[in-house]
Structure 1
Amino acid sequence: MSQIYAVLVDGVMYAAWLFLVALGLTLVYGVLKILNMAHGSLYALGAYAGVTLIGPWVAQGGNLYVSYLLLVLAAIVAGGAIGLIMERGILKRFYGQDPVVLLLVTYALFLIMEDAIKLVWGVDPYSVSEPYSFLGNFDLGDLSYPNYNFLIVGVALVAGVGLTAFLKFTRSGRLLRAVIHDREVSQAMGIRVSRYFVVTFMAGAVLAAIGGALTAPTVSVAPGMGVEIVVLTFAVVVIGGLGSLPGAAFGALLVGLVRASAVHYWPQGELFSIYIVMALVLAVRPKGIFAPLEARKI
C-alpha cells in the first residue's frame, strides 16, 4: 500500500512540473498554431538565468525565501525578453505560411539558442542547491519528499487556474478566445491580433522559463537540458490535444503517473513507458483526448 501512495505522490509531483512547462507550449499552439521547438531552449534559458541571479545571492548569505522570488523574477525577465525578440524579430515574418515552415523555423531557433547558451555560460554545469534543501522534507511512511516539490505543485496550480480564469472571466481573455476561434474574423472586427500574438508568445516563453528556473535548484544546470524537456512536453500536449489547457493537465497527470509507476515497478522501462502511452492514445484519438471538434468542410 505504501508503494501505491509513493506512486501517486511521485506522479503528481512529476505531473505538476511537466504541466508548468507544457502549459506555455499548448498556449502558444492554441493561439498562434505554432508547434514551438524552441520551447526547450526557453526552459534551459530560465534555468541558467535563475542560477545566475541567485548564485551570488546565496553565496553572500542572502535570505533564501527571497531566492524563490529571484528565481521567478529571472525567468520573467529572461523569458519575456527573448520571447519578444523571437516573435517580433523572426516568427511574425512567417505567419500564414505552411505549418512545417514554422516548425523548421522554431527548430532553427532551438539550435541557435542552444549554442548561444553555451557561448554565454560555457559548458560547465552550474549548481545552487540551497533553495531546494532549505524547506526541509515531508515524510510519507518510509519515504521522505522535499517540500520544495510541493512549491512546484503550488506554482503549477496557480498558473493553470490563473490562466483558465483569465480566459473565462476577463475581457482580454474573451478577446483572446475569439482570436483562437477565428483570427481572420477577429481582425475584421477590429481586434489587434498581432498584439495578442506577441503577448501570448511572451507568456508561453515566460512559463517555460519559470519551469526551468524552479527546476534549477534540483539539478545540475548544463547544456542540453532543454532537449529532454521538449520531448516530454510534446508527449504531454499530443496526448491531451494540441491547444487544450485541460488536455495539457490531463496529459501531464497521465504521463506523471505512468512514469512513477514505471520507476517503482519497471525501472528499465521508465522512458519507454511514456511513449507506449502516447502511441496507445494516438491510436484511438489521433488528435489527442481533449482535441477540440473541428468544423466539417464541405
Structure 2
Amino acid sequence: MTMNIAALALLDGLAYASLLFLVAVGLTLIFGVLGILNVAHGSLYAIGAYATATLGQWLVAQGFNPWLTFPGMIVAAVAVGVLLGGLIERLLLQRIYSKDPVLQLLVTFAVFMILENLQRMIWGVQPYFMSTPLTVLGNVRLLGINYTAYQVLFLPAAALVVLFTLRYFLRHTNMGAQILAVTEDREAATAIGINASRVYFMTFVIGACFAALGGALATPTTSLVTGMGANMIVLSFAVAATAGLGQIEGAAISALIIGIARSFAVYLSPEIEVIMPYLIMVLVLLVRPNGLFGKETVRKI
C-alpha cells in the first residue's frame, strides 16, 4: 500500500466514522436511558436524509444563497426528530415501557417497516442527491491528497460538536441531571419529583434528532436510495454493541475504529469490506461480552 492510498483510506475512514457516530450516539442514548433498542432509528436516519435533500433542492431552485443548505440540514433534522420521534414515543413507546423487551423490539421493527414504505410513497424509488454543501466548501489538501472539505473537515467537526455538546448537556444541565438520575434508578428519581415520562420523551426526541442529523449530513456524500435505513441501523448497532450499549464516549471510539477499518478494507481487501464492522463487533464481544467500555453492574450514558 502506497502512502497516498493509506492517506486516502484514513480520510475516507474519518468521514465515514463521523456519520456512523452521529447515528449510533442517538441509538445508544435511547438504549442507555429507555432500555429500548429502537430499530426504527434507521428509518429516522433515512427520512432525515430525504427531507434534507428535498429542502436543499427547493432552496437552490428558488435561488437562495447555497450556504443556506447548511442551516437547512439542521432544520430538516430537528423537524424529523421532533415530529416523528415525538409521535413514536407518545403514541407507541409510552404504552410498552413495562412490557417484555421482545415486544418492544417488535413494535419498533413494525414502525421501521411502516416508515420504510412511507418513504417509498413520498419520494418513490429513484435516487435522490443534493451536493450543494459539498460544492460550496470545495476541496482541501491534506496528507498529500486533494479531498472534499465537507467530508474531511466539516463532518468530523460536526461529530465532535455533537459529542462535547451532549457530554456538557448530560453533566452540567438540570435536564441532563434528570436524565442521569432516571437512568440510574427510575423509582428513586420519581420519588424525588422527577417526571420520568417527560425525561423519556425528551431523550427519545434527542436521539431521534441525532439519527435524522446523521441522515441530513450524509445527503451530500451519497445517493439516497430505498433501504439505506436498514443498512445504517445494522451498522449503528455494530458500533453501539462494540462500545457497550449505553456508552456515549465509547460509541465515538468504536465508530472511529470501525470506520477506519472498513475504509482500509475497501483498498486492501474489498471482498471483506461489507463484513468488516461485524467482524470487529464479534471479535470484541468474544473477548468483552459487554463491549469495549461496557460494565456488568453499572450502566452509564
Aligned-partner residue type, residue 141 of structure 2: D
How many percent of aligned residue pairs carry the same amino acid? 46
For each residue in 1:218-243, what CA deviation from the matched residue of structure 2 results, as whole angstroms up to 9, or x when unmatched? Answer: 22222211111111001000000001
The Cα shift of 1:57 comes to: 0.9
Matching residue of 1:181: 184
The TM-score, its normalising length taken from structure 2, stands at 0.94
Residue 234 in structure 1 maps to residue 233 in structure 2: no
How many Å separate the matches in 2 of 1:51 and 1:3? 31
Q: Which runs of 5+ in 1 are unaligned?
A: none
How many Å separate the matches in 2 of 1:257 and 1:56? 35
Aligned-partner residue type, residue 85 of structure 1: L
Q: Which runs of 5+ in 2 are unaligned?
A: none
Count of residues in Structure 1 that have an aligned counterpart in Structure 2: 295
Contact 1:41 1:114 in 2 (8 A): yes
Aligned-partner residue type, residue 109 of structure 1: V
Matching residue of 1:43: 45
* Consecutive aligned runs of 4 or more in structure 1 exceeding 4 Å deviation: none
Matching residue of 2:166: 163
CA RMSD of aligned residues (A): 1.3
Matching residue of 1:119: 121
Matching residue of 2:208: 205
For each residue in 1:232-274, what CA deviation from the matched residue of structure 2 results, as whole angstroms up to 9, or x when unmatched? Answer: 0010000000011022111101101211221121122111222
Matching residue of 2:135: 133
Contact 1:75 1:209 in 2 (8 A): yes
How many Å separate the matches in 2 of 1:10 and 1:218? 11
How many Å separate the matches in 2 of 1:294 and 1:156? 29
How many Å separate the matches in 1 of 2:143 and 2:77? 35
Aligned-partner residue type, residue 213 of structure 1: A
- Among 145, 148, 151, the residue aligned to 1:146: 148
- Among 227, 241, 260, the residue aligned to 1:224: 227
How many Å separate the matches in 1 of 2:10 and 2:212? 26
Q: 1:10 to 1:220 in 2, by over 3 A?
A: closer
The Cα shift of 1:287 comes to: 1.5
Residue 280 in structure 1 maps to residue 283 in structure 2: yes
The Cα shift of 1:142 comes to: 5.0
Deviating more after overlay: 231-240 vs 164-173? 164-173
How many Å separate the matches in 1 of 2:213 and 2:220? 12
SS in 2 for 1:138: strand
How many Å separate the matches in 1 of 2:204 and 2:236? 16
For each residue in 1:87-144, what CA deviation from the matched residue of structure 2 results, as whole angstroms up to 9, or x when unmatched? Answer: 0011110011111111111000000000111112222222222222221112235532
Matching residue of 2:75: 73
Deviating more after overlay: 36-45 vs 61-70? 61-70
SS in 2 for 1:62: coil
- Among 94, 98, 101, the residue aligned to 1:99: 101
- Among 274, 293, 297, the residue aligned to 1:294: 297
- Among 32, 35, 38, the residue aligned to 1:33: 35
Contact 1:46 1:74 in 2 (8 A): yes
Contact 1:241 1:287 in 2 (8 A): yes
SS in 2 for 1:55: helix
Matching residue of 2:5: 3
How many Å separate the matches in 2 of 1:271 and 1:184? 43
Alignment of 1:252-263 (within 5 A): 252-263=255-266
Contact 1:244 1:292 in 2 (8 A): no
Residue 59 in structure 1 maps to residue 61 in structure 2: yes
Deviating more after overlay: 167-176 vs 94-103? 167-176
Contact 2:48 2:77 in 1 (8 A): yes
